[in-house]
Structure 1
Amino acid sequence: MSAAELLGQIADVGRDARRGGYSRHVFDEPERELRTWFVERAQRLGLGVETDRNGNLWAWWGSPGPEAVVTGSHLDSVPGGGAFDGPLGVASALDAVESLQTKGFRPAKPVAVVVFAEEEGGRFGLPCLGSRLMTGTVDADWVRGLRDPDGVTFAEAVAAAGLDAGGVGADPDRLGLIGQFVELHVEQGSGLIDLGSPVAVGSTVIAHGRWRFSFSGQGNHAGATRLADRVDPMLPAAETVLAVRRLAQGRDDARATVGRLVPTPGGTNVIASTVDLWLDARVPGVETPALVEEIAVAARDAAEGEGCELIISRESYSGDVVFDEPLRRALGEWLGAPPELPTGAGHDAAILAGFVPSAMLYVRNPTGISHAPDEFAEEADVAAGARALAEVLERLAK
């Protein structure tokens, strides 16, 4: 079954009637339905499926063992995300395995398709959670205590999914099985439109991180409290949002975004007692923390001017990633010299790149839009991506 047909099977899972697009978050009902779908599809191909200690799904072609050739992506989404971000890589991996089986290829090395948990951070706020836990690049105790918007901890969600929350954390034995990792993903930009190519090889991922700014003031009545008597955290929060754009524009190729702002208690006729906002900042090289510090200075000044308190906490950070050069060069030779592309989007492959040879393949997105309902890929380009992935898997697993 082609990758496009596989995506069609899950096209109605997790549709978000309010936001548009899809909302599929780790261990919620839509994501569990997608996990069931993946297990069924993998088993139809004769793959042995297992769930690791961190909730990542593995489908093995051959017995699990060292020097495995691993591909895959994720099934979760951002709130109101597109249909291709994540699932395209999973569907293309299944398509590639089936096409190799059909032609009679027998891998000399184990081949695995992996579905990583919570790549987007849509439920617990930590991107690439499954790969970070497996590689030990995040503290497991801290992760177990993370809460979703409904107050459910990650440990509780893991237990509800039938897994052992106490087993969450670094998994060197699992990581040690991976010989090479190749992730296929829809392009989250317009590079391939400009280059006129259906497929590209990833070169780098820009350094990026997420920070939480928590402003505290005095909750009060919107009608009975004079302006001069207010300690309103919404004002420094609003000034910070404007500062983010202003300060990011002063640095070459910087991207900084406030995509989420939560006032408490959130009533229309209530002066908020607290306002939390989340900053996503990405600057090539080593300048991301410096940009964030500039924003923090502006936020502190704004908070002080309103008589508010401010706490800033870093939730995640990854430096620049350069994908494995020998593997990139090999992919370019095998695939007829497609273009190489950098990206500002994070991926599980970027987490694994610090531990095992890793690479990315991108499929053209004719809208240039991602993390939104207008994200798209033409069926012919989806097929080209799956063929490219099959070629890579066959070469690596010989």
Structure 2
Amino acid sequence: MPDLVAHGVLAGLDEIADTGRDRRAGGYSRHLWQSADLELRAWFTERAERLGLNVEVDRNGNTWAWWGAPGSDAVVVGSHLDSVPGGGAYDGPLGVVSALEAVARLQAAGFTPGRPCAVLVFAEEEGSRFGVACLGSRLLSGAIDANRARALTDRAGITLGEAAATAGLDPAHLGRDQESLDRIGIFLELHVEQGRGLIDLREPLAVASSILAHGRWRLSFTGQGNHAGATPMTDRRDPMVAAAHAIVSVQQAALASPGSRATVGRIEAVPGGTNVIPSVVHAWLDARAETDAQARAVVAEITARVQAPHAGCSTSVVEDSWTSTVTFDPELAARLVRTLGGLPALAAGAGHDAGVLAARVPTAMLFVRNPTGISHSPDEFATLEDCVAGVEALDTLLRELL
């Protein structure tokens, strides 16, 4: 990203360009309270303090940088810094860096906010460590039960409560944070677009109109672990075969429901030896659709298909998370469109912290064009010109909202 530095715009992306690089998967792997995430938190604190912002971490691990004194009815702008395994450089960090850059520009212009303002970085937006997306905003808003959240485990068997304690938080205080929530008068999130909408519209920016209903489910197939060489094919109860059959069924069910999306992006065999027939195979399903009813219907169809007996194995389906269709505050969206001169509206297929907060506070999103149309991949991208347009839009909006 040397061009960003050379032009003096969004230099923050270059500052974190080496943090969390994943040499095996490509791209970045930045997960909650692990080394890359801790480095990013330190970077954000240092960069915010350079602007004279006062940084605090809330009871759920979300980081706030206040411009002036904290208070109610605040305009809060931000995104996240964590990533999926092998993710791109823009998903999340673009929104954080753009928010800091917009504040810096306002300060340089001598602008003084007329109401409280903060840049907010959410914890565990991708859900890559503990399996629940937008975990920081769900905890903040009370959208997830605190006891359930504390018991979530990562791949090493560490619970969220244990990880929180290691990070210096009190696990007993995880959960709905009404004091912090009450401070938010408006939440605004800028995000790189995760799709082709702006490519097709030939526009650099859009205002979000909605987010698809979406959720995650854990599919578990239980068979009989055994020796790969000593067990005849006809004597096997192989859960990997059952899982493979189910994954094909997932694709078939989604294709039969136009507009639905269903993905199995992670699979785990227990015990995981090359010469061992697994005893259990876990697969994680991500399913989405335009309406709650359609998403639930496609998951019900998938469940019926995968629970049909196959390879002598038993199957269970457990819901890990669910987010209903989000419609962003229409009055706030209209205000953004007016202020920015008629931007198009765009529905999102990806979930965001703004979508979680939308049920609690007036919330809006800005999308920045991604000329590859690819996200959750090292190929994710945004041009210098479009990034500048995003910062300028935030600058304009903050002048209007503050």
TM-score where L is the length of structure 2: 0.97
Cα deviations across residues 115-173 of structure 1 (Å, max 9, x unaligned)?
00000001001100000001101011111111111111111111111111111000111
Whether the aligned pair in 2 keeps the contact of 1:3 and 1:88 (CA below 8 Å) is no
- Displacement of 1:305 in angstroms is 3.0
Whether the aligned pair in 1 keeps the contact of 2:268 and 2:283 (CA below 8 Å) is yes
| 1:239 match | 245
| 2:361 match | 356
| 1:315 match | 320
Between the aligned partners of 2:86 and 2:139, the Cα distance in structure 1 is 25
1:334-349 alignment runs, 5 A limit:
334-349=339-354
Cα deviations across residues 292-334 of structure 1 (Å, max 9, x unaligned)?
1111111111xx2322121211000011101000100010011
| 1:214 match | 220
| 1:85 match | 91
Whether the aligned pair in 2 keeps the contact of 1:3 and 1:94 (CA below 8 Å) is no
1:1-398 alignment runs, 5 A limit:
3-285=9-291, 286-301=293-308, 304-397=309-402
Between the aligned partners of 2:262 and 2:123, the Cα distance in structure 1 is 25
Whether the aligned pair in 2 keeps the contact of 1:83 and 1:376 (CA below 8 Å) is yes
**Secondary structure, in 3 states, of the residue corresponding to 1:351?**
helix
Between the aligned partners of 1:343 and 1:371, the Cα distance in structure 2 is 14
Number of corresponding residues:
395
Cα deviations across residues 24-55 of structure 1 (Å, max 9, x unaligned)?
00100001000000000101111110000000
Between the aligned partners of 1:122 and 1:4, the Cα distance in structure 2 is 26
- Displacement of 1:3 in angstroms is 4.9
Between the aligned partners of 1:338 and 1:238, the Cα distance in structure 2 is 44
Cα deviations across residues 321-365 of structure 1 (Å, max 9, x unaligned)?
010001000100111111111011000000000010000000010
Between the aligned partners of 1:223 and 1:296, the Cα distance in structure 2 is 32
Between the aligned partners of 2:42 and 2:360, the Cα distance in structure 1 is 29
Between the aligned partners of 2:16 and 2:362, the Cα distance in structure 1 is 31
Between the aligned partners of 1:368 and 1:73, the Cα distance in structure 2 is 20
Gaps of 5+ in 2: none
Between the aligned partners of 2:234 and 2:14, the Cα distance in structure 1 is 57
Between the aligned partners of 2:127 and 2:83, the Cα distance in structure 1 is 8
Runs of 4+ residues over 6 Å off in structure 1: none
- Displacement of 1:287 in angstroms is 1.2
Q: Output the amino acid matched with 1:158.
A: A
Q: Output the amino acid matched with 2:341.
A: G
- Displacement of 1:391 in angstroms is 0.9
**Secondary structure, in 3 states, of the residue corresponding to 2:10?**
helix
Between the aligned partners of 1:238 and 1:204, the Cα distance in structure 2 is 33
- Displacement of 1:82 in angstroms is 0.1
Q: Output the amino acid matched with 2:143.
A: T
- Displacement of 1:235 in angstroms is 1.2
Q: Output the amino acid matched with 2:368.
A: V
Whether the aligned pair in 1 keeps the contact of 2:190 and 2:366 (CA below 8 Å) is yes
Between the aligned partners of 1:7 and 1:305, the Cα distance in structure 2 is 48
Whether the aligned pair in 2 keeps the contact of 1:3 and 1:91 (CA below 8 Å) is no
Between the aligned partners of 1:147 and 1:186, the Cα distance in structure 2 is 29
Gaps of 5+ in 1: none
Kindly report the root-mean-square deviation, in angstroms, between the aligned alpha carbons of the 2 structures.
Answer: 0.9
**Secondary structure, in 3 states, of the residue corresponding to 2:88?**
coil
- Displacement of 1:4 in angstroms is 2.5
Between the aligned partners of 2:182 and 2:19, the Cα distance in structure 1 is 34
Q: Output the amino acid matched with 2:113.
A: P
